[in-house]
Structure 1
Amino acid sequence: MSPRGVAMPDVRERMFAAAERVLAREGPGALTSRAITTEAGCAKGVLHAHFAGLDEFVADLVLDRFAETARAAGELAERAGAGTVAGNLRDVALALLDSAGPTIAGLAMTRPAASLRLRRALESGAPGFSAVQESITRYLDAEQRLGRVAPGTDTAAVALAAVGTTHHLLMTGRPGGADPREQVRGLIAMLASAAGASGAASGDLPAGE
Structure 2
Amino acid sequence: MSPRGVAVPNARERLFAAAERVVAAAGPGALTSRAVTDEAGCSKGLLHAHFAGGLDEFVAELVLDRLARTAALAADLPARAGTDTVAANLSGVATALLTATGPDVSGLALTRPGAAERFRDAMASGAPGFAAIQESVTRYLDAERSLGRVPAGLDTAAAALALVGTVHHLLMTTWPGAPDPREQVERLVPLLIRQ
- Normalising by the smaller structure, the TM-score range is over 0.9
Matched, 1:122 2:123: yes
> Unaligned 5+ residue runs, structure 2?
none
Give the equivalent residue in structure 1 for 2:189. 188
The DSSP-based 3-state class of the residue aligned with 2:44 is coil
Q: C-alpha separation between the residues in 2 aligned to 1:124 and 1:165?
A: 24
Show the counterpart of 1:175: 176
Distance in 2 of aligned mates of 1:45 and 1:68: 26
Equivalent-residue separation in structure 1 for 2:123 and 2:169 (angstroms): 16
How far apart are residue 24 of structure 1 and its match? 0.8
Shift of 1:120: 1.6
Residue type at the aligned position of 1:96: L
Cα deviation, residue 89, structure 1:
0.4
The residue type equivalent to 1:31 in the other structure is L
Residue 86 of structure 1 corresponds to: 87
* TM-score between the two structures when normalised by the length of structure 2: 0.96
Q: What is residue 77 of structure 2 aligned with on the other side? A: 76
- Structure 1's consecutive aligned runs of 4 or more residues displaced over 4 angstroms after TM superposition are none
* Residue 64 (1) aligns with residue 65 (2): yes
Shift of 1:88: 0.4
Distance 2:102 2:112 in 1: 16
Residue identity opposite 2:118 in structure 1: R
Contact in 1 for aligned 2:150/2:194 (Cα 8 Å): no
RMSD of Structure 2 on Structure 1 (CA): 1.1
Asked if 1:38 corresponds to 2:33, the answer is no
One-letter identity of the residue aligned with 2:76 = E
Which residue identity lines up with residue 97 of structure 1 in the other structure?
L
Structure 2 Cα separation of the partners of residues 85 and 177 of structure 1: 27
Which whole-Å CA distance do the structure 1 matches of 2:180 and 2:8 have between them? 37
Contact 2:94–2:185 (Cα < 8 Å) also in 1: yes
* Displacement after TM superposition at 1:50 (Å): 1.1
- Percent identity at matched positions? 67
Q: Which runs of 5+ in 1 are unaligned?
A: 195-209
Q: Quick check: 1:106–1:173 contact (8 Å CA) kept in 2?
A: no
**Distance apart, 1:189 and its partner CA:** 2.0
Aligned counterparts of 1:112 and 1:172: Cα–Cα separation in 2: 18
Distance in 1, matches of 2:23 and 2:133, equals 25
Count of paired positions: 194
Residue 22 of structure 2: aligned partner: 22
Query: 2:151 touches 2:193 (CA, 8 Å); kept in 1?
Result: no
Residue 120 of structure 1 aligns to which amino acid in structure 2? Answer: D
Report the alpha carbon displacement of residue 178 of structure 1 after superposing the two structures with TM. Answer: 2.7
- 1:41-63 alpha-carbon deviations (Å, 9 max, x no partner): 11111111111111111111000
TM-score (norm 1): 0.90
Residues 163-209 of structure 1 show CA distances to partners (whole Å, capped at 9, x for unaligned) of 01111111222222232111111111211233xxxxxxxxxxxxxxx
* 1:53-90 CA distance string (max 9 Å, x none): 11111111000000000000000011110110011000
User: In structure 1, what residue type is equivalent to 2:6?
Assistant: V
Moved more, 58-67 or 117-126: 117-126
- Greater CA deviation, 178-187 or 135-144? 178-187
